[in-house]
Structure 1
Amino acid sequence: MSRVTEIRYVGYATPDFEAERAFYVDQWGLEPVPSSDGMAYFKAKGAPEHHVVRLRKDPAKRVDVIALAADRRTDVDALHDRVAANGGKVVHAPQELTSPGGGYGFRFFSPDGLPFEISSDVASGPTASIARWDGVPVKISHIVMHSPDHKALTQWFIDVLGFRLSDWIGDFM
């Protein structure tokens, strides 16, 4: 079964663009990636991804997109079909992506309205060796999402995207 393999990046909208930019560089230790589109991109030193965080200036603070990886184009196509058949609202079908790093992917909203992208064939960048105690993120390894029906959404991610449940905090998230 085709499945999501990892988190590529999370894109945020923020009203305080410069403060957020400083946070990701000074506090998280991410490296700025040059851009010409008015957005800010940040790379984790140990990750091959073009970027792991993207910032966009906007009056409203929100998550613009949670970008996920798939191994191959055929996996992207299969995941698109499952998302469309299981209550996801497709924004655009699989296509060549024009965002930094390129690739092949599609965007959709989960049944609860969370924004996602799934892609493959995204250009990778250089990585650096990270020592155990360097204190910088190697990659984005997890995210926390809230839902009015977290059990149903969890099952949707398992059934549709191939997620695996690693732990459960309780019935309050």
Structure 2
Amino acid sequence: MSTTSRAAGAVVAGPVARLRTLRSVALRSPDARRAAEFYQHVWGLEPVEHDDGVAWLRGTGPEHHILEMRQAERNALGKIAFSVATPREVDEAARRLEALGVPLLAGPGRLDQAGGGYGLRFADPENRLIELSADVEAVAPRDPGGREAVPRKVAHVVLNTVDIDAACAFYTTVLGMRISDWSEHQMAFLRCNSDHHVIAFNQAEWTSVNHVAYELPSVDHFMRGIGRLRHHGVTPLWGPGRHGPGNNTFSYFADPAGLVCEYTSEVEQVDEDAWLCRVWRRVPELSDLWGTAGPPSKDVRRHMAGIPDPGGWWQK
């Protein structure tokens, strides 16, 4: 997609908005209640609101919530929410999306959801629901001293895609994200701020959620969090280890719904003026620099493949 598009007599150059952060992720599942209980009592998130068939949970950071779990017929992505600075930027993003021929599914306007805010929603080319929002209700940091071994934010979402080049083109051209690194031509790591990646795409047979990663403040918090999960009888699918691309620690688990969740820490910080995109080889010693986890097993790959997710749930 070109960075310049003509529609309704308007010329739109560049991305539709400047994304600040990955705010939250919404997941859908037939086992949403059990999954929400896991994320609260085992994973360490705190419930902030709940309704019939849906729960919103927060980390220790300032976001109102970082995870929404909603009852549905099948495991699927519900939504990915990014923050922008002001409502005016939301309005400008709406104008630019319409000029690019990207239909708005909601907004711009006040968001009728937990945490409120002013925003808009649209679908990406593989029918994933994307939200841009500002003025969402903030909360006081839950653990200002950083003592708890629980997540403070969503670090990144990895998405399985049937066309990695088209996915990267949309997210860079329309949303202004930058590609930090490639893992051969199998994975691409995209950033919207100094974090090495907040979205990654994995070339796959079908569209689905690969996993959602949650950031802990340090390696010590990361290891203590893994210890807490072991105390609850939950052992890693893969990890602990440290990835090459992003240089972040990793330990992957499966929630009761079968969705893959990751503890991570020490995500590499990008200096925009000095960073050079690198193509990493897909070899065990680079997927885990520590050499403690080894390559992912067939069972790990099966969990990360998920089930085909055509999106478009909002049309039903």
TM-score (norm 1): 0.88
- Of 14, 33, 56, the match for 1:18: 33
In the TM superposition, what are the counterparts of 1:111-150 in structure 2 within 5 Å? 111-127=125-141, 128-129=143-144, 131=146, 134-150=148-164
Equivalent AA in structure 1 for residue 41 of structure 2: D
Match status 1:33 vs 2:32: no
Tell me, yes or no, if structure 1 residue 9 matches structure 2 residue 24: yes
Distance 2:101 2:157 in 1: 21
In structure 1, what residue type is equivalent to 2:140?
P
1:98 corresponds to: 112
> How far apart are 1:164 and its partner, in Å?
2.1
| Contact 1:10/1:54 (<8 A) preserved | yes
Gaps of 5+ in 1: none
Do structure 1's residue 79 and structure 2's residue 63 form an aligned pair? no
Q: Which residue of 1 is the match for residue 209 of structure 2?
A: none
Give the number of aligned pairs: 171
Where structure 2 has 5 or more consecutive residues not aligned to the other structure, the ranges are 1-14, 187-201, 203-316
Q: What's the offset of the Cα at 1:154?
A: 1.1
1:167 corresponds to which residue?
181
SS in 2 for 1:67: strand
The structural deviation recorded for 1:31 is: 0.7
Give the TM-score normalised by structure 2.
0.50
Aligned Cα root-mean-square deviation (Å): 1.9
Contact 2:104 2:122 in 1 (8 A): yes
> Quick one: distance in 2 between partners of 1:23 and 1:38?
15
Secondary structure of 1:143's partner? strand
Give the number of the structure whose alpha-carbon radius of gyration is greater: 2
Shift of 1:22: 2.3
Structure-1 separation of matches of 2:73 and 2:180: 36
Query: Is contact 1:8-1:140 (8 Å) kept?
Result: yes
For 1:17, the aligned partner's letter is A
* 8 Å Cα contact 1:89-1:110 kept in structure 2: no
Greater RCO structure (CA 8 Å; 6+ sep): 1
Query: Secondary structure in 2 aligned to 1:35?
Result: strand
Deviations 1:109-161 (A, max 9, x none): 012211111110111011122537x4321101211122222122212211211
Matches of 1:168 and 1:140, distance apart in 2:
21
Deviations 1:14-47 (A, max 9, x none): 10123201221233211111334541110001x2
- d(CA) in 2 for partners of 1:98, 1:40: 15
Distance 1:112 1:36 in 2: 29
Contact 1:44 1:52 (8 Å CA) reproduced: yes
